Structure 1
Amino acid sequence: MCRTRAVLDIVGDKWALLVVRMLKDGPLRFTELKRAVDGISQRMLTVTLRDLERDGLLTRTVHAVMPPHVSYELTPMGRTLREAAAPLLEWSVRHMPQIDAARAAYDERG
């Protein structure tokens, strides 16, 4: 596989970009991310977090408290991904009503 494609697989993953977006203000715990990322399953969040950690985009920290908890935070490289993806995410939010209308019109024709 082309190495660039491997990177684009990360960027093209909808859950990865949403997780990166949610971590923009600092570390969050798993449950906080689960609540913040609408529609993601616990399993999909676990897989996404592992992939992002493996790729060096976030760090996982286990806090030695009772009960123990884990938090996730963007690495410097993860923050640059967030900066690069921000315009795309903002475009998505800004154009969602138009996309919804276009989909509804298309579905009516079909």
Structure 2
Amino acid sequence: MNFLADCRTRLAFDLVGNTWHPVVLWALKDGPRRHGELRTMIGGISAKVLTEALRKLERDGMVERVAGGYGLTRLGVSFLGPIEAFGHWAEEHGDEVVAAQADAISR
């Protein structure tokens, strides 16, 4: 598998590499939400950053506008699996990463 600058794998990593994209997609997993609902659910995200994230996700075909809010497209729903897998990995190994980071700082 190639990891060139323009490869399809890189597209997927770009989607999860953005701090807010996976969070916004996950917040939409149970159905469409209005902008204000998303801000409340997510917490810590400004209205401007949420709007930018939604626009980028819409451009990428992951999110669509529906009945006054935003919902996942079929493509967006398909991406919930990898997001969930990252979450499981983080739950299982997050403490190890934090410990390694603390160890690196203390050296």
Normalising by structure 1, report the TM-score. 0.77
- Say yes or no: does 1:41 pair with 2:9: no
Aligned equivalent of 1:66: none
Q: CA deviation at 1:44?
A: 1.3
Q: 1:103 to 1:55 in 2, by over 3 A?
A: same
- The offset of 1:3, in angstroms, is 4.8
Give the corresponding residue for 1:26.
31
Report sequence identity in percent.
36
Aligned length: 102
* Cα distance in structure 2, aligned partners of 1:98 and 1:36: 28
Show structure 2 runs of 5+ residues with no match.
Answer: none
**Which structure's residues are more often strand, by fraction?**
1
Selected match of 1:12 from 11, 14, 17: 17
Deviations 1:37-84 (A, max 9, x none): 2432221111110011111111112x4xxxxxx321111110001123
1:72 to 70, 73, 98: 70
1:92–1:30 distance in 2 versus 1, CA, 3 Å: same
Runs of 4+ aligned structure 1 residues displaced above 3 Å come to: 5-8
Q: Hey, what does 1:102 align to over in structure 2?
A: 100
Aligned partners of 1:74 and 1:98: how far apart in 2? 33
- In structure 1, list runs of 5 or more residues that go unmatched: 64-69
Please state whether the residue corresponding to 1:28 is helix, strand or coil. Answer: coil
Report the more deviating stretch, 22-31 or 97-106: 97-106
After TM superposition, give the deviation of residue 7 of structure 1 in Å: 4.4
